[in-house]
């Protein structure tokens, strides 16, 4: 589509613009623009920065605060940016797409209209997961704010440009990755393409899993930096060479059997080993959580985590400071406290998700939050395309959860049909933020090409940040094995079929 001039309402005149509740696809009390101004030019030119609020239905719920960026030289397309963590801050939409190589122009610099929101609460006013005590805020966080923000943003594009976008994409990582899968499932005709990186797809299962780590960590299982380094060295020694090359990258963690009991301290040992309590935590981290009942969409629990990446990720995500659990475990505690028990003073240590008194609430929350519905037939029928990136060195949430979701879609729709619109890639070594190995590629360009030209991505080349090392991102469930040549070049690897894979 050629560039579209702003033939409608000028930027400054957007201030005070009201969007009727009837023009928003889910219940609100309408929306309004509070500020609109031409922002300082970026490398692609100036844009109209629009901010506003979407009013709630319930008097006790906060507004959804949003931002929309309307480039003066519009390419006729739009990108919705997802959030992170428990959200609570307005997504600016001015940054890069997750995993974009350094120097790649941002979507806004490329002429995309971009937008995002705070998902319906302020983290300053509702810290942690406390917003979940307000029912409308919880539903907004789960999925509703996505639809409301999208409808308002598209309405403003039509007002400003006298034109709606030809293509609308969603991009997000972690929480934003979950949101990307959610819009494909719940609002299948609203988006032409979705890029979802490391999504917290099984949100409820994830939080139940990590919260369960708190008790054994606090009960003697906390591991210091030396112990984490020992774990990292052990997994690399055991698993690194399974892809034909010892290079610090574990390509097949699912095929690696690490004997953690071999690290047990003998009598009198205090260094270079782990206590039984510490080993128990490690083994629990890698073992699945199996519930006595199914969560939404028949999901039975949560998979364990892949081995690898301990030195990079564990000091923050799993083990905190001075014997306390890390960040992801604390997120799980907030989830139990606010989403499930609905009690800010609830003691989350030792919480039993199988206890009968909690099941109804857990299932209710799971139905709202979990982006695990495998029936993407409506998204496919509308022409939607979906790219999933899972990072195998991510210890903030398990890559196996997203890969399990891909498998569930394949089972529901069959492989031939799924391959027409859904591609998944498992990236070795890369961590939750995408560093620690070859990770970067311009997924938005590949997604846009797939949508507009019908050219589907296959095995693409990943770039490591700050180096010249590249590695193929193999279409799951194939994986990269070293063949011959320069070990730092993707051309030296082949994407291999996993044992038993008949695709």
Cβ(190)–Cβ(167) below 8 Å: no
> If residue 58 lies in a helix (H) or strand (E), which one and from where to where?
none
Determine which one of 151, 247, 394, 448 is catalytic: 394
Degrees to nearest 5, angle at CA 280 with 277 and 282: 115
Q: Which two tokens stand for residue 432?
A: 């939750």
**What is the rounded distance in angstroms from the CA atom of residue 238 to the CA atom of residue 232?**
10
Q: Is 394 a catalytic residue?
A: yes
**What is the rounded distance in angstroms from the CA atom of residue 214 to the CA atom of residue 290?**
17
* Parallel/antiparallel/unpaired status of strands 193-197 and 167-173: parallel
Helix axes 175-186, 145-161, angle to 10 degrees: 80
Q: Is 163 a catalytic residue?
A: no
Q: Strand (E) positions, 429-492?
A: 460-463, 470-473, 479-482
Degrees to nearest 5, angle at CA 483 with 478 and 487: 105
> If residue 161 lies in a helix (H) or strand (E), which one and from where to where?
helix 145-161
Q: How many CB atoms lie within 10 A of CB 404?
A: 16
- In which residue are the tokens 């699945």 written? 288
How would you list the strands of the sheet with 113-117, edge to edge? 18-19, 31-38, 47-54, 64-71, 113-117, 77-81, 167-173, 193-197, 385-391, 422-427
Determine which one of 96, 117, 130, 174 is catalytic: 174
- Report CA-CA distances (Å) from 188 to 103, 153, 318: 32, 17, 35
**What is the rounded distance in angstroms from the CA atom of residue 48 to the CA atom of residue 104?**
22
Q: Which phi and psi (to 5°) does residue 70 adopt?
A: -115, 100
Among residues 136, 156, 108, the alpha carbon closest in space to that of 26 is found at 136
Determine which one of 432, 433, 440, 448 is catalytic: 432
Cβ(195)–Cβ(97) below 8 Å: yes
Burial class (CB in 10 A: 0-12, 13-18, 19+), 133: middle
Q: What is the secondary structure of 233-292 as a DSSP string? A: HHHHHHHGGGGS--SS--S-GGG----GGGGBPPTT--SSSB-HHHHHHHHHHHSPEE-S
**What is the rounded distance in angstroms from the CA atom of residue 412 to the CA atom of residue 20?**
38
CA 61 to chain centre: 26
Cβ(45)–Cβ(135) below 8 Å: no
- Catalytic residue list: 174, 394, 432
């Amino acid at each position: 589509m050629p560039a579209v001039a702003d033939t409608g309402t000028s930027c400054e005149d957007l201030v005070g613009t009201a969007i009727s509740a009837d023009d928003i696809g889910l219940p609100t009390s309408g929306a309004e623009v509070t500020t609109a101004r031409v922002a300082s030019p970026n490398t692609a030119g100036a844009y109209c920065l629009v901010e506003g609020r979407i009013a709630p239905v319930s008097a006790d719920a906060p507004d959804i605060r949003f931002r929309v960026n309307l480039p003066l030289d519009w390419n006729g397309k739009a990108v919705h940016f997802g959030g992170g963590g428990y959200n609570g801050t307005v997504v600016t939409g001015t940054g890069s797409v997750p995993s974009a190589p350094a120097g790649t122009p941002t979507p806004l610099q490329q002429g995309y209209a971009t937008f995002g929101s705070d998902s319906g609460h302020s983290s300053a006013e509702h810290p942690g997961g406390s917003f979940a005590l307000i029912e409308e805020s919880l539903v907004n966080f789960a999925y509703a704010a996505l639809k409301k923000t999208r409808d308002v943003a598209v309405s403003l594009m039509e007002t400003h440009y006298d034109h709606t976008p030809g293509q609308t994409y969603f991009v997000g990582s972690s929480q934003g990755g979950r949101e990307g899968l959610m819009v494909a499932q719940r609002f299948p005709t609203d988006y032409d393409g979705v890029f979802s990186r490391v999504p917290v797809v099984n949100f409820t299962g994830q939080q139940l899993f990590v919260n369960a780590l708190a008790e054994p960590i606090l009960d003697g299982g906390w591991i210091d930096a030396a112990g984490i380094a020992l774990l990292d060295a052990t997994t690399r020694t055991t698993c690194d060479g399974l892809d034909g090359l010892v290079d610090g990258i574990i390509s097949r963690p699912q095929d690696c059997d690490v004997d953690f009991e071999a690290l047990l301290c003998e009598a009198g040992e205090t260094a270079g080993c782990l206590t039984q309590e510490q080993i128990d935590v490690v083994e629990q981290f890698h073992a699945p959580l199996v519930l006595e009942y199914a969560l939404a969409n028949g999901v039975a629990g949560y998979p364990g985590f892949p081995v690898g990446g301990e030195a990079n990720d564990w000091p923050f995500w799993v083990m905190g400071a001075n014997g306390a659990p890390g960040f992801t475990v604390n997120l799980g505690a907030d989830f139990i406290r606010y989403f499930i028990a609905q009690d800010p003073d609830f003691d989350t240590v030792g919480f039993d998700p199988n206890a009968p008194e909690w099941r109804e609430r857990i299932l209710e929350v799971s139905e709202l939050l979990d982006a695990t519905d495998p029936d993407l037939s409506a998204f496919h029928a509308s022409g939607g395309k979906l790219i999933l990136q899972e990072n195998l060195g991510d210890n903030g949430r398990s890559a196996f959860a997203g890969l399990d979701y891909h498998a569930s879609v394949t089972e529901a729709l069959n492989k031939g049909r799924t391959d027409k619109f859904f591609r998944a890639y498992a990236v070795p070594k890369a961590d939750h933020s995408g560093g620690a190995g070859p990770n970067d590629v311009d997924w938005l360009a590949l997604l846009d090409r797939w949508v507009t030209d019908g050219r589907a991505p296959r095995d693409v080349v990943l770039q490591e940040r700050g180096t010249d090392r590249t590695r193929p991102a193999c279409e799951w469930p194939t994986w990269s094995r070293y063949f011959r040549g320069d070990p730092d070049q993707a051309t030296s690897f082949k994407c291999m079929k996993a044992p038993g894979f008949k695709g």
